[in-house]
Amino acid sequence: MKKNTIQEKMFLELKQKTVFESTQKYGLEYLDNVFERNVYPTEESLKNLSVFEEAFPKKSSDAGQVIEVLNQFGGPATVPTLGGRYFGFVCGSALPVAIAAKNLGTYWDQCPTMNVLSPIGAKLESVVEGWLIELFNLPKDTSAGFVSGTTTANLCGLAAARYRILKRQGWDINQKGLYAAPKIRIVTGQAHSSVIKALQLLGFGQESIEWAEVDDQGRVIPESLPELDENTIVILQAGNVNTGSFDPFEEICDKAQKANSWVHIDGAFGLWAEAVDGLRHLTKGCNMATSWAVDGHKTLNTPYDCGIILCKDREAITSALETSGAYLDKSDNRDGMYYTPEMSRRARIIELWASMKYLGKQGIDEMVSIMCDRAKQFAKEINSLNGFVVENEVVFNQVIVRCETDATTQNVLKNIQELRECWLGGSVWKDKKVIRVSICSWATTEKDVRRSVNSFKEALEMENAPTEFE
């Protein structure tokens, strides 16, 4: 008897749909429990990950069994960032509509490299580009590229800056490369690690950075800026990764414009303040910059991965990310490959469009404002406890906390993580160890904050508890 080929097997799985139905069932069960489960996997579930340590299979497996193993052993070992008590790193949750849209987009499996490859992808990218320009009050000819995250978005913005500055000096980097190219100056304050990575990838190196002085919240002091010129890239922050502070954009951008410098704003989570009436004072003057990097998967709560590069010099970014090939089918409509480094990429625009369509201006305003309210609540309740000090002015969604000594701070953080009521990470601020609270989930409630603060209290009590030898 003839055995089914792998092709026949997959056609049958598509027709029967059993594997999709079971996956849907597992996914909905996960969502049912995500808000009450431990905020970090248990030791048992982490140990059970050893089930995946196997030799590469010699034969094809049953699709249902593959998904069953993934659900049984993979699900419990996930970190439920979807919930309301995950505050480690600046990770967003995901809106229900965005999860649903991403699932639909997964079935579509679109690649919006060119309009001809995905008319729906190209159309949604064009529409959302216009929405973002309106929401962030950007120049009308600003372009948008939809990338994996702000790391890549920073890379694109800085590549565009490099192209334009060199082009003004008669140097075409696409033809001549970097060797013997004119010098480009980099000026910044407290740049995020993703900015440093982008600079390294672009051939600048950390030693090329001219560091401006910052204040006690990490904001660039305008008077400390070196003399700017047309060969300078100024990199600013909308949301310091520790304090959540915003650089004084208006004053610095005014100086940069007079010097014909390029200003790039790393606004991974903070640029969304520009879309909120009660927070727009934080981003005053940000639309005077030349390029902006921002995530959807942080403050906007789209699923991972969803980054955006915005650039008002459309020619510079399309030239920096130049794509050519006789086989490419250029369209009179939008071809996404001219605005991103990737050619093959998934249509993350589907869930970004769905999120913005669902929320609208009013919904974004309300959701981001609630995150800020929860951050202020967190700081207020932590300040009411003995043994903790809030180190920053809470202006957006970030809170940094320390104990009396570095050792106590580190031990308390370890205790909080092991309690698994909430999850937070550590950092260093002003040469002291701190616990960093990042509130980026639509699902975080007042009750979640109270539960989490109580975990701080319990963790400190554990640290101060006498040992059996005392």
**Alpha carbons 135 and 364: distance in angstroms, whole number:** 10
pLDDT of the residue at 419:
96
Helix residue spans in 113-176 (DSSP H): 119-135, 150-168, 173-176
- Looking up tokens 């030349």 gives 290
Of 397, 418, 414, 396, the closest CA to residue 406 belongs to 414
Q: Distances in Å between the alpha carbon of 372 and those of 24, 146, 181, 280, 385?
A: 34, 26, 45, 13, 21
pLDDT of the residue at 329:
74
Of 245, 186, 238, 244, the closest CA to residue 211 belongs to 186
Q: Is 438 helix (H, G, I), strand (E, B) or coil?
A: strand
Cα-Cα end-to-end distance for the chain: 77
pLDDT of the residue at 16:
94
Contact between 153 and 201 (Cβ < 8 Å): no
Contact between 400 and 434 (Cβ < 8 Å): yes
pLDDT of the residue at 468:
56
**pLDDT, one tens digit for every residue, the chain (470 residues):** 466 799 999 999 999 999 999 999 999 999 999 999 899 999 999 999 999 999 999 999 999 999 999 999 999 999 999 999 999 989 999 999 999 999 999 999 999 999 999 999 999 999 999 999 999 999 999 999 999 999 999 999 999 999 999 999 999 999 999 999 999 999 999 999 999 999 999 999 889 899 999 999 999 999 999 999 999 999 999 999 999 999 999 999 999 999 999 999 999 999 999 999 999 999 999 999 999 999 999 999 999 999 999 999 999 999 999 887 767 778 888 888 899 999 999 999 999 999 999 999 999 999 999 999 999 999 999 999 999 999 999 999 999 999 999 999 999 999 999 999 999 999 999 999 999 999 999 999 999 999 999 999 999 999 988 765 55
**Alpha carbons 254 and 247: distance in angstroms, whole number:** 13
